[in-house]
Amino acid sequence: MSVKNIKKTSEQGFREIKEDLEDLKKYIQDFTLFLPLAFSLISPFHIIVSVNQSFKSLAGYDEIEVTGRDISFLFLEKTKLEDFKKDIIKTGKKISKELTLITKNKNKIPVNVIALARKNEEGDSQGYFLTISDISKSKKFRQELERQVIERTKELQEKIEELEKINQLTVGRELKMIELKEEIEKLKEELEKYKGRQ
Amino acid sequence: MSEKYKITEKEIEKIKKIKGQCRGQTIVTTLQAVLVMEGKEGLAKIESRLKELNCWPDHFSNFNKNIKVFEWYPLWQDIIPSVAVAEVFNWGEEKMKEFGINNQKVSFFEKILLKYFVSLKLLSKTVTERWRRHYSVGHLESAEINEKERRIVLRLKDFSAHPIFCQLLCGYFQSAASFVVASDVITCQETKCAFKGDAYHEFLITWQ
C-alpha cells in the first residue's frame, strides 16, 4: 500500500470515528432528553456535572444554576445525605434512600434517590449517576392506606367490644334463666312436698 | 477592557490569520453560553454583528445541529464570537469571566471528560491533554499544584488569540477547578499575559 493510500485510509478511519462520536453524542442527548426520570451526573466530589430536562421540571433549576454545585443544597436531611454520599463511594454499588427534595420555589417534595457508582478500569471512582423520583403521590397513597387500616382496625375493635358485651349479656341472661329454672324446680319440689303433707 | 471597546477590521484580520484549529465544541459552547446569559434576543444580536463583520459562517445558524462538536474548525470561529460578545453586550472582565464559567458548564466535552475530575492532581496532570482536545495550537501546563496552600498555577504557551479571550479562559479554568475542589469560593486571575509582554499566559487559581 502506498503512503498516499495509507493516508487516505487513516483519514477515512478518523472521519468515520468522528461521525460515530457525533452519533453517540446525539444518542446520549436524545436519550437523556426523553428520559422521564430526573437524572444527573455527579463527580466523585459530589458536584453536579449535568442534569436532564426531567430534573429541571422536578427541581425547577436550570442546568446552569446547578452545574458545579454540591448536591447537598438539593436535600433537606443533611446528615442522612452525608451518610448516603459516603455509602455511594464506599460500596460502589447501586443504593437508594428516601429524602426530601427542596425545589427552587422552596417546595419540599418526598423523593426516592438512587445512585449508581461509576468506576474506571483501575477501580477509581468516577462519580455516579443519580436519579430522583417524586414519591409524594405514592407516599400520600401509602399514608392514606395506613390511615384507613388504623380506622378500620379501630372500628373492628369497637365491634368486637360490642359483640363481647352482647355476648356477656346473652350469656348472663341464659345463666339467669337456668338459675330461674332451677328455682322453679325447687319450688315445684317444695310444693309437691307440701301437698303430700296435707 | 474599556467601555468603548469595538472590534476593528484590523483585529478581525489578525485573528483570522492565527494558525490553528478549534473543535466544534468550543464554538457550540460559546454560542450556547450566549443563549444562557442573554437569551435568543442576545444571540440574534451576536449573529447580526458577526454578519456585519463577515464572520458568521452558515453552520453557525442552528449551531446545535450544524456544528459537529468533534470536528476541527478554523480557530477564529471560536475567538471572534467571544470578542464580539464583549463588544455587543459591553461586558467587562468580570462578566467575561462569568461567560467563561458558563462556557465550561454547558460543554458536552467537559461532561465526558469527567474521568479527569477524580482528583486535583490528576486534573492538573491532564490539563495539557484536555487543552489539545479543544485546540490544535497552544500548550497548557500546570506549573504548580499546592493543595495545602490551596493554589494551582496554569501556564498557557504559544496561544495568543485576544486579550478578551484571556478573561474567558480565566472563568473556564475557575469553573473546571470547582469540580475537584471542595470549596464554594474559588477564584482565578491571570497573573501573566502574553499581551502585556510576558512570555506566556499564567493563571492563578485559589480557593478558601
Domain for residue A162, yes or no? yes
Answer whether B72 touches A (CB < 8 Å). Answer: no
pLDDT in tens, A8-24: 778 788 888 888 888 88
- CB contacts < 8 A (A, B): 59
Domain for residue A17, yes or no? no
What average pLDDT does this structure show over B134-150? 93
The pLDDT value recorded for residue B44 is: 97
pLDDT in tens, A68-80: 899 999 999 999 9
A40 and A121 share one domain: yes
A149 and A196 share one domain: yes
pLDDT in tens, B95-120: 999 999 999 999 888 877 766 777 77
A62 and A51 share one domain: yes
Lowest mean pLDDT among B37-51, B76-90, B105-119: B105-119
Contacts of residue B106 in chain A, CB cutoff 8 Å?
63-64, 67
> CA–CA separation, A36 vs A170, rounded Å?
63
Q: Closest-CA residue in chain A for B115? A: A126
What average pLDDT does this structure show over A135-162? 90
Task: Kindly report whether the global pTM for this prediction surpasses the value 0.90.
Answer: no
> CA–CA separation, B1 vs B90, rounded Å?
9
CA separation, residue B53 to residues A85, A135, B6, B8 (Å) = 51, 54, 12, 9
Confidence bin at A30 (pLDDT 50/70/90): confident
Chain A nearest-CA distance from B11, in A, is 32
Answer whether B44 touches A (CB < 8 Å). Answer: no
Chain B nearest-CA distance from A127, in A, is 8
User: In which residue are the cell numbers 436524545 written?
Assistant: A30
Inspect the interface and report whether the beta carbons of B70 and A18 lie closer than 8 Å. Answer: yes
Tally the domains of chain A.
2
pLDDT in tens, A93-145: 899 999 999 999 999 999 999 999 988 777 778 889 999 999 988 888 888 89
> CA–CA separation, A180 vs B2, rounded Å?
116
Q: Closest-CA residue in chain B for A120? A: B115
Domain interval for residue A177: 136-198
- The SS3 assignment for B187 reads strand
Answer with the one of A83, A104, A134 that is the final residue of a domain. Answer: A134
Inspect the interface and report whether the beta carbons of B70 and A47 lie closer than 8 Å. Answer: no
Pick the CATH number of B111-207 from 3.90.226.10, 3.90.180.10, 3.30.56.10, 3.30.1380.20: 3.30.1380.20
Inspect the interface and report whether the beta carbons of B106 and A21 lie closer than 8 Å. Answer: no
Q: Is the pLDDT of residue A162 over 60?
A: yes
A94 and A146 share one domain: no
Q: What is the ipTM of this complex?
A: 0.77
Mean per-residue pLDDT of chain A: 89
Rg (Cα) of chain B, in Å, rounded? 16
What average pLDDT does this structure show over A34-57? 91
Domain for residue A77, yes or no? yes
The pLDDT value recorded for residue B4 is: 65
Answer with the one of A134, A156, A181 that is the final residue of a domain. Answer: A134
A49 and A112 share one domain: yes
What average pLDDT does this structure show over A142-171? 91
Domain for residue A24, yes or no? no
Percent of chain A with pLDDT over 70: 99
Domain with CATH 3.30.1380.20 in chain B: 111-207
CA nearest neighbour of B9 among B68, B67, B80 = B80
**A125 alpha-carbon distance from chain centroid:** 27
- CATH number, position A99: 3.30.450.20
Chain A nearest-CA distance from B54, in A, is 28
> CA–CA separation, A130 vs A75, rounded Å?
13
> CA–CA separation, B64 vs B93, rounded Å?
27
Q: Closest-CA residue in chain B for A64? A: B105
A92 and A142 share one domain: no
A53 and A79 share one domain: yes
CA separation, residue A185 to residues A66, A172, A190, A195 (Å) = 94, 20, 9, 15
The pLDDT value recorded for residue B1 is: 46
A113 and A41 share one domain: yes
A148 and A180 share one domain: yes
Domain for residue A27, yes or no? no
Element (H, E) at A159: helix A136-197
The pLDDT value recorded for residue A126 is: 83
Chain B nearest-CA distance from A125, in A, is 7
The pLDDT value recorded for residue A8 is: 75
Q: Which residues pair with A99 in a beta bridge?
A: A111
